[in-house]
Amino acid sequence: MHPSAGRTEAEIVGDMPSDRDLILRFNGRNDRRAFEELVHRWDGRVIAFLVKASGNPEVAKDLRQEVFVRLYRYGRTYDPRFSFPTWLFRIATNVLKSWGARRNRWDRVQSSLDGETEFPDPVDSSPNPRESAALGEMEDRVGAAIGELSVEDRELLLLHLDLDFSYREIGEIQDTPETTVKSRFYKVLQRLRQELKQLEWDERTL
């Protein structure tokens, strides 16, 4: 269970209003301070998520902007039965999805214009596995292999391992059954591990 599904760390320490109280205050009384407080609380986690999921800090900055703009515009659609973080990251994953679709369309246009030439990913600046293997460090290798995953797969790893969302909460975020989320999560990890084994083997045989 995500720690802030009920109350955030700050709320537990003092008498801070919960995220839910803040979003309801913003909705009910159009309280801009409540909105700003929410942004202050969540901005760090949102930007970190977007940077790692998109693989590009510059893109992440634009996406972060879009997340909070959507939060402001569609704050009224918040359903208090759900936790605020789940709802916020549902917005963030939708923003990522739209960006992914735009990027794919652009790639398709590029390849049709240039005779199916494969272009390097214009936004994902992660080093490729072959480059990183030379560094020899497990962390770097893992980072490189993760860079090769799809945005959706990286998103899944981050939601569970960094943001501590449970499989059920991720299911709510991605509109997917909990069991599917869990099995997808383990498949991603296993694929990643196979990729790393292959890299190690390549390194040994080179």
In the complex, the residues that contact another protein under the rule CB under 8 A are: 32, 35, 39-40, 43-44, 47-48, 51-52, 57, 60-61, 64-65, 68-69, 72-73, 138-139, 141-143, 146, 157-158, 161-162, 182, 186, 189-190, 192-193, 196
Taking the complex as a whole, the smallest distance from the CB of residue 108 to another protein amounts, in Å, to 28
* Residue placing its CB nearer to another protein in the complex, 83 or 126: 126
* Residue placing its CB nearer to another protein in the complex, 61 or 105: 61
Taking the complex as a whole, the smallest distance from the CB of residue 179 to another protein amounts, in Å, to 13
Backbone angles phi, psi at 136, to 5 degrees: 80, -5
Secondary structure E strands in 14-115: none
Taking the complex as a whole, the smallest distance from the CB of residue 180 to another protein amounts, in Å, to 15
* Residue placing its CB nearer to another protein in the complex, 16 or 48: 48
Which of 108-111's residues contact partners 24+ apart within 8 Å by CB, and which partners?
A: none
* Residue placing its CB nearer to another protein in the complex, 110 or 143: 143
Side-chain-facing half-sphere of 49: CA atoms under 13 Å: 31
Nearest to 27 by CA among 65, 67, 72, 81: 72
Rounded to whole angstroms, the maximal C-alpha distance in the chain is: 66
Taking the complex as a whole, the smallest distance from the CB of residue 98 to another protein amounts, in Å, to 17
At 187, the amino acid letter reads K
Q: What single DSSP character describes residue 150? A: -
